[in-house]
């Protein structure tokens, strides 16, 4: 067989790449395959039975188109790339997701597609609804919230909110994550399929949910409009508002839809209503609009009929599957609760074990400390006993010392009394000495006065004596003998006795001052001052006495010179000296 013959017998194939919302698949298709063959292969691979909602979308000349099932794949305007890329997506949307979406895989694919459309801002969503939807998306992905596992920042890599929502508020990523986590924590106990269904229930109430938009013009003046096709019917929007339609045509009110090249015609069911015509930019756009209108209308009519046997079987199976999963979740929840209880009990036991170990360790340490304390107490008791003996000995010594101090105190009291008596005597003596010094001072003053008077009398007597001696010397010599001068020895003796007495008193004062100094320092100063005064008085008195003796001696010397001879001293008794002197002075005065 030739090589050319082998090539003719090999079936011709082409590569196809199908991208679902969560996976990518590649198939090798035969050239004769129709769109239905490829579509059924993808559905079998995914495990999808609710095939009427989905289709294979491709892009041609920047326009989306859906693969027709009744035509061959290569006969359609598919890209010429290898492999040919198709997107397996929902082509039609249900009116009520909780009633029409039966299989879990169908719910999951719708969830992924609607979530992507919201994040890509193909479906407008308010900020508060975006946060709530994001919390259900997190619940579907991560399960129940666990604060020990889901730390702050675990959503940093997830895209959960549309960019327009993030730009509207001056909030950081952490702040948004905190708000989403707060809602996420409230969804505890919700399974993944339930969280995805809750997401779709909220999303189906959004204005742009399940709507396919096309740019049209109403007339040849090129008035720009938007045509929206969804599960409810056809809607006309202004270009700047995709939320609120200007005009709507429900499927129940449309009798016929047709197009002729770029012109599209909508005929209402009621003939009194005007026919609505609009124009599209391309012919293929009209074909796509018509294809979507036919598919949505068929589903609209199908919902209002009794479910087929296939759908009933799927719903029954889905119900049984949900019941089974619910029971499994309940069993799992109980087991999880039991495991958590067991873990908590284990943690409690471990904590209790650690606590008991700590208590045992502390008890051992306390025992060791008590033993050490007992040893220390024994040593302290021995030391205390020795100290007690020492203290007893010291107490006896202290008692003896106390008794000795009592005796000493008694002696001290007696000595103090004697000292006070001596102090009083010293004070009396000092007072007497002061009085005596004052008296001596007065006597000195009186003697000075007498001396002055004696000098005056001597001067006068000298003058008279000189006059008399010139004329009557013989007569004086006959009747009178010159008086002997007063013996200075007697005065000196008296002065010496006074000095001796003063010296004796002075020595007593010194001895008393030394005794008083030990007891009263203040009194010592006073006594010392008084002693100095007494010494000064003594010196003054002695000087006066000496001056007086010298002056008397001088008077008698002059008197002898005036007579012109020296007479022998005549003894005169001490008792008669003053009288003789006075009589002699009286004789001179009479002369």
What is the SS3 string spanning 211-268? CEEEEEECCCCCCEEEEEECCCEEEEECCCCCCCCCEEEEHHHEEEEEEECCEEEEEE
pLDDT at res. 150: 86
Residue 564 phi/psi, 5-degree rounding, is 90, 0
pLDDT at res. 450: 79
Q: In CATH, which of 2.102.10.10, 3.30.1360.120, 1.20.80.10, 3.40.50.700 is domain 15-203? A: 1.20.80.10
Binding site annotation covers 71?
Answer: yes
Exposed, middle or buried by CB within 10 Å (0-12, 13-18, 19+), for 435? exposed
Q: Is residue 107 predicted with pLDDT exceeding 90?
A: yes
Helical (H) or strand (E) element with 551: helix 521-563
Look up tokens 């908590």; give the residue. Answer: 344
Residue 226 phi/psi, 5-degree rounding, is -125, 135
Q: Is residue 564 predicted with pLDDT exceeding 50?
A: no
pLDDT confidence tier of residue 144, bands split at 50, 70 and 90: confident
Give dist(CA 316, CA 333) in Å, integer.
25
CATH code of the domain made up of 212-305: 2.30.29.30
Stretch among 24-33, 357-366, 453-462 having the lowest mean pLDDT: 453-462
Digit-coded pLDDT (tens) for 316-357: 888 888 888 888 888 888 888 888 889 889 989 999 999 999
Binding site annotation covers 9?
Answer: no
The neighbour count for residue 142, using CB atoms within 10 Å, is: 17
Q: Are 69 and 33 in contact (CB under 8 A)?
A: no
Digit-coded pLDDT (tens) for 351-410: 999 999 999 999 999 999 888 888 888 888 888 888 888 888 888 888 888 888 888 888
Cα dihedral: 397, 400, 406, 410 (round 10) = -130
Evaluate the CA torsion angle 89, 92, 93, 98 in order and state its sign.
negative
The per-residue DSSP string of 156-170 comes to TT---S-HHHHHHS-
Instruction: Show me where the domains of the chain are located.
Output: 15-203, 212-305, 309-378, 459-590
Binding site annotation covers 68?
Answer: yes
pLDDT at res. 580: 42
pLDDT at res. 510: 64
Helical (H) or strand (E) element with 88: strand 84-90
Digit-coded pLDDT (tens) for 58-101: 988 778 889 999 999 888 888 888 889 999 999 999 999 998 99
The neighbour count for residue 509, using CB atoms within 10 Å, is: 20
Give dist(CA 137, CA 124) in Å, integer.
17
pLDDT at res. 522: 66
pLDDT at res. 453: 83
Q: Is residue 5 predicted with pLDDT exceeding 70?
A: no
pLDDT at res. 197: 94
Binding site annotation covers 336?
Answer: no
Give dist(CA 246, CA 257) in Å, integer.
19
Cα dihedral: 21, 26, 30, 35 (round 10) = 0
**Among candidates 230, 308, 227, 291, which has minimal Cα distance to 56?**
291
Binding site annotation covers 287?
Answer: yes
Give dist(CA 193, CA 106) in Å, integer.
10
C-alpha separations of 343 from 347, 533, 545 in Å: 6, 110, 128
Exposed, middle or buried by CB within 10 Å (0-12, 13-18, 19+), for 147? exposed
């Amino acid at each position: 067989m030739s090589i050319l013959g082998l090539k003719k017998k090999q079936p011709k194939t082409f590569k196809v790449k199908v991208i679902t919302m969560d996976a990518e698949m590649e198939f090798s298709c035969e050239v004769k395959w129709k769109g239905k063959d490829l579509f059924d292969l993808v559905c079998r691979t995914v495990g999808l039975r609710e095939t009427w909602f989905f289709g294979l979308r491709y892009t041609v000349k920047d326009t989306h188109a859906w693969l027709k099932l009744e035509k061959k794949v290569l006969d359609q305007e598919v890209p010429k790339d290898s492999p040919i890329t198709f997107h397996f997506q929902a082509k039609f949307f249900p009116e009520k997701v909780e009633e029409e979406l039966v299989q879990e895989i169908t719910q999951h694919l719708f969830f992924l597609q609607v979530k992507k459309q919201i994040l890509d801002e193909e479906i407008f969503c308010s900020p508060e609804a975006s946060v709530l939807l994001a919390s259900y998306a997190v619940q579907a992905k991560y399960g129940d919230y666990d604060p020990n596992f889901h730390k702050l920042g675990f959503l940093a890599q997830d895209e959960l909110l549309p960019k327009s929502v993030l730009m509207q508020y001056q909030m950081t990523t952490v702040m948004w994550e905190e708000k989403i986590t707060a809602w996420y924590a409230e969804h505890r106990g919700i399974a993944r399929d339930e969280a995805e269904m809750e997401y779709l229930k909220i999303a189906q109430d959004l204005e742009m949910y399940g709507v396919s938009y096309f740019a049209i013009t109403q007339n040849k003046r090129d008035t720009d409009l938007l045509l929206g096709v969804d599960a409810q019917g056809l809607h006309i929007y202004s270009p700047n508002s995709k939320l609120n339609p200007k005009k709507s045509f429900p499927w129940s009110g449309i009798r016929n839809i047709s197009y002729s090249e770029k012109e599209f015609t909508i005929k209402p069911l009621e003939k009194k209503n005007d026919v609505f015509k609009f124009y599209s930019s391309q012919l293929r756009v009209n074909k796509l609009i018509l294809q979507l209108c036919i598919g949505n209308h068929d589903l609209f009519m199908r919902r209002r009929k009794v479910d087929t046997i296939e759908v009933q079987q799927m719903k029954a199976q889905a119900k049984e599957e949900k019941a089974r999963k619910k029971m499994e979740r309940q069993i799992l929840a109980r087991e999880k609760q039991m495991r958590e209880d067991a873990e908590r009990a284990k943690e409690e036991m471990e904590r209790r074990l650690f606590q008991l170990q700590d208590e045992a360790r502390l008890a051992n340490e306390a025992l060791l400390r008590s033993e050490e304390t007992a040893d220390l107490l024994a040593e302290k008791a021995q030391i205390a006993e020795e100290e007690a003996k020492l203290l007893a000995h010291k107490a006896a010594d202290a008692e003896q010392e106390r008794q000795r101090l009592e005796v000493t105190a008694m002696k001290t009291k007696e000595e103090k009394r004697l000292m006070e008596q001596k102090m009083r005597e010293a004070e009396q003596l000092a007072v007497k000495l002061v009085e005596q010094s004052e008296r001596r001072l007065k006597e000195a003053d009186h003697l000075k006065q007498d001396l002055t008077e004696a000098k005056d009398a001597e001067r006068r007597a000298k003058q008279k004596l000189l006059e008399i001696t010139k004329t009557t010397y013989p007569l004086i010599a006959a009747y009178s003998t010159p008086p002997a001068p007063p013996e200075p020895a007697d005065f000196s003796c008296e002065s010496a006795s006074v000095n001796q007495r003063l010296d004796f008193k002075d020595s007593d004062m010194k001895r008393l001052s030394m005794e008083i100094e030990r007891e009263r320092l203040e009194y010592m100063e006073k006594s010392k001052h008084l002693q100095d005064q007494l010494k000064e008085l003594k010196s003054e008195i002695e000087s006066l006495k000496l001056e007086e003796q010298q002056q008397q001696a001088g008077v008698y010397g002059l008197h002898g010179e005036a007579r012109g001879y020296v007479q022998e001293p005549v003894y005169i008794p001490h008792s008669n000296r003053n009288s003789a002197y006075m009589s002699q002075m009286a004789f001179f005065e009479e002369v």
